[in-house]
Chains A and B, each alone.
Chain A
């Protein structure tokens, strides 16, 4: 141990988990462990179809259920239409807390039922049969962009609008000219699937009105203040009326960053003066909560015989599902990464955030980048195979280094790709060429 290592209190040592004793004794308090004697339960009336116009709602049969307390509709929500990324300037607002005249996905909440017990809430919600006029639905990103597709958004297109543009665009050099000079053209289509995070603890919150006029909200959100801010905007409440208590989350993986259960539960507490619990069933978690978005990517690469990629053209489509959630941001992040950690002089990227009649997608571990990495690296293998080159070597030939320019015209400052690949090759016992072994990330002149 060196002198400097001896001074470290944490690095190199095992530190007991602060919450560990609570977890192994079951004394950790999760949101669903919290109850209050006069607490109500909230259940949603959800759309049974993928796309429809709402013609009417009849609560009379629900009101007959013993334990029914009241229903909430969009008319009860102070600012019903929202988009959570408004906090970073993304707009316009486009998702309703409760559907107004249309539903855009199967499972979309139309009305909330408050009842004395969860069973009564389920029973009452099941008795609200909305009068719906079903509309044609679209489930494929490219179908959704065709002229004859059903239009889902007020602004008249099925894609997010980036500063007046149809997609997030990245342009470097001239790909068409470079394709003309390339020895090989390598093209492929890639598709990823939506994935449900499936945390063991389902999404839940309890909203409790306090005598001082504030609302205490116990929630398992991953984004406590982000959710508090959005909730205050939706409910048109001063921020200091909301006291969010969180931090204990029974698994989330990006699936608990949307603002879903808190605003409506607090509204229920405001309208009844009683605590309200809103917890997803496992079925709701699987069928309604946000997923990782599905992506489709088209790559066209111009490659020289020595393995150098001189042009890369990418068109990619994120399936955002029916609403924004975090996908407009994911697409921007995606566009910055989708050409890969390679020095390519000519790059052309069109990355679309597309709306379909599927359950909304949102954040999940590395969202936007993960599907890009999948497509990039399969494409690199395909190029290597096409030109008959070792798949390791082709990555060294193209690896970006400090001082290179990225497609979105930022200078690379922190490249470690070469060193990482050298270490990985050594660990798996893969021999590298002398040239690859001599390379480093900071000195292009050397090799």
Chain B
């Protein structure tokens, strides 16, 4: 199978990669571009640890052929982190102990980012709905929900 040149925008920067057909965005991010904040928990769309934003919408990058994101805006956790300090969602996760092993955290944070962008004051139920596709095997869902509520407060007050 012949590789193709694929262009997309990653965290505000235009990138160009060579990829074989059906190569996933996850593989390109992690193994070609070495953007490893995006995790690879199952590679079958079951755990949410690889969630990135495509034009602001959360998607499982392990199921997304990179050819499908030509010309699109991709945001990973690396793109959320400011030059200094932390993004309010990251601060909320850190300060509310919404992290244990940390492997689900990148996907969780990106899902919460997408939620708060479209719904700045989500209810508890809406937060639970938003993270329904993201597994935390240390089972710290309560602090994650609290962190999302806290992040909403920080963003709305800020």
Contacts and interface: CB of A to CB of B under 8 A. Distances in A.
A19 B102 contact: yes
A35 B35 CA distance: 12
Nearest to A286: B42
30 contacts: A20-B94, A21-B86, A21-B94, A22-B102, A23-B99, A24-B90, A24-B93, A24-B99, A25-B78, A25-B90, A26-B36, A26-B77, A26-B105, A27-B37, A29-B36, A30-B36, A32-B36, A199-B137, A200-B39, A200-B136, A201-B103, A202-B41, A250-B41, A250-B103, A251-B100, A251-B103, A251-B138, A253-B137, A282-B44, A282-B46
A33 interface: yes
A28 interface: yes
Contacts of A32: 30, 36, 40
Given A198-B137, A281-B43, A26 B78 contact: yes
A200 B104 contact: yes
Given A30-B39, A249-B101, 12 more contacts: A21-B86, A23-B99, A24-B94, A24-B109, A25-B37, A26-B36, A26-B106, A35-B31, A199-B101, A200-B49, A251-B138, A281-B43
A23 B97 CA distance: 11
B102 A28 contact: yes
Interface string A8-49: 000000001101111111111110110100000000000000
B97 A17 contact: yes
Contacts, number: 91
A277 to B, nearest CB: 11
A27 B42 CA distance: 20
Contacts of A28: 102
B47 interface: yes
B149 interface: no
Contact of A251 (B30, B42, B77, B101): B101
Contacts of B40: 32
Candidate in A20, A24, A32, A198 with the most chain B CB atoms within 10 angstroms: A24
A200 B99 contact: no
Interface residues of B, number: 38
Interface string A265-282: 000000000000000011
Contacts of A27: 37
B43 A23 contact: no
Interface of B: 30-31, 34, 36-44, 46-47, 49, 76-78, 81, 86, 90, 93-95, 97, 99-106, 109, 135-138
B39 A201 contact: yes
A42 to B, nearest CB: 16
A25 B36 CA distance: 11
Interface centre among A28, A29, A250 (most CB of B within 10 A): A250
B99 A20 contact: yes
B60 to A, nearest CB: 13
Nearest to A23: B102
Given A20-B94, A253-B137, A282 B99 contact: no
A250 B43 contact: no
B73 to A, nearest CB: 18
A25 B105 CA distance: 9
Give the one of B30, B31, B97, B137 with max A CB within 10 A. B137
A436 B109 CA distance: 49
Contacts of B136: 200
B93 to A, nearest CB: 5
